[in-house]
Structure 1
Amino acid sequence: MKPFDLQRADSLAHASQLCAGDASKPIGGGTNLVDLLKLEVETPDTLVDINRLPMAGIDPIDGGGLRIGALASNTAVAVDDRVRADWPVLSRAILAGATQQLRNRATTGGNLCQRTRCYYFTNIDQPCNKREPGSGCGAIDGIARLHAVLGTSDQCIATYPGDMAVAMAALDAAVEIASENGKSRSVPVRDFHRLPGDTPWRDNVLEEGEIITGVTLPAPVEGKQIYRKVRERSSYAFALVSVAAVVAMDEGGLISRADLAFGGLAHKPWHDPRIAELLVGKAPDEALFDKAAGLLLEDAQGYGENDFKIPLARRTLKAVLGEATGTSS
């Protein structure tokens, strides 16, 4: 591990000031960042401890929504009675990720900022455009079993590893961001993470000196909420495919809401608004679900070892839609 200086921020403005520049990084729970420090994938000159900032609350907001502070632990969010009652897909997604010990330490803001990564990224002896721009992507012609099939580029095919953000994307949550100049902005979770394109080292839209202060959930909606995670083992494994779904039916038996997001398929939590447009107002049946899966995967591209993800995503989506609409056989 490369030596670094540790600074403790005593205010949000102080934290933003200390985090300005590529050589500084904020640290909350550190469950991802510390691992990368040990591997010398991340080598900041300064770590900025933000744990003294009052950002751990989970509070109701106007309009019936909920605000989750950036330092609220994953455990605190998952077991919160309001989250479990009104946004259960979020609770289920968090509980599907990592271990209890990690959830106790991991924070909401840190979870959103975890690096999109793969084995080539975490091995400094291997080529990786995310870690060393211009060095190449070892996964494209290498071991690609866990890698992306949507939204890839010739620079990177890594998959976003988290579960929490997938559920937040389905719920249309928003990320609150504060900057060094005292200004703040709100970005939909659906737009917070970036596809690799020509700049795979940029995982999200945060600029220098910007810090996540919280996440807001909109008012709860009617419908069934499901989080299904398909993985190679039952605990502490990233998703091969995951689906977060909020689906409602009207009194006539037609689909009235279909908010869906996907993990394990792309460089970011994947949300395709065309799927809701296709499903809403229709009677659920297998033919409709096939069309939805075809729309989701029309541009999917495998890299040999991960070709199986395409039919797996199709089956998983159809199973989730069948469960959500009560049409499972």
Structure 2
Amino acid sequence: MKYTTNNPRQLAVMTLVRTSNGSYSNLQINAVIQSTSMGPADKGLFTNIVYGVIQHRLTLEYKLRPFLREPEKTETWVKELLYTAMYQLEYLDRVPKRAIFDETIKIAKVMGHDGTRRFVTGILHQMDRKGTPNLDDIQDEKTRLSIEYSVPTWLVDMLEEQLGKAKAASILASLNKAPKQSVRANLAKISQADLLADLAKDGFDAEPSKVSSEGIIINDGQIIHSDFFSDGLLTIQDESAMLPVESMKIDPADNILDACSAPGGKTTQIASRLEDGKVFALDIHKKSLKRSNEMQLV
């Protein structure tokens, strides 16, 4: 798809509309980054906003609701635009309020019309005057936890039943902490130790994972835009997602079926251990397999 803008906030709105209709957020983000000419800072802001709104969606929906007279009649993209503004205001410290307001209002007019601009402007100023609803005012504890940590109430129920209220609250609170940027060394091309050394030479603050023998934690730097990523020397993957393959006793001549392979992290991890063997990648979604096919294995 071709994009007629490089505005990271507008692209975030467009991406959120697609993800709200069922598209995979990571695939949409990658497609936007590859199809536009945003600089590193704008790519970072774009990615931050998309993932931030998704992560805090229930919270943002609750806080926006009092300002919409007819939520069901408000266009999806307008609500997503307002969520992006609220996310920046409440969760990003370095972005000035004036810049958030100006950009949001400008996008409202570009993507809509002057009436949309007035509508969005009015809501932003109402939020600024009145403030958004206080979550502490929610009387039901499970509902409050659900909205505060943006998780469904059934998950709150399950955690409390299995672990108790105190432990459940601790786990829910941890969900909003910024995740570590973790990658896996492609052992078919480079060892973890050599990759760590090369990353350090290139200015990345990186350290070995304490969870996975192949994992590396990137403490500073956008690894997805680096030559290490484009050359297939590493794969972006959660530490926990690396462990299933590490636990397998794989013979280099094995034939292995990965029946739920997308987006390809486990598949490529298995492939890096094979020589004469093969890994067969299947997934319920045909389009998702395209990502697996695009990943560099050797």
Higher strand share: 1
Identify, as 1 or 2, the structure richer in helix.
2
What is the TM-score of this pair, normalised by structure 1?
Answer: 0.22
Higher relative contact order (CA 8 A, sep 6+): 1
Per the normalisation by structure 2, the TM-score is 0.24
Structure 1 or 2, whichever has the larger Rg, is: 2
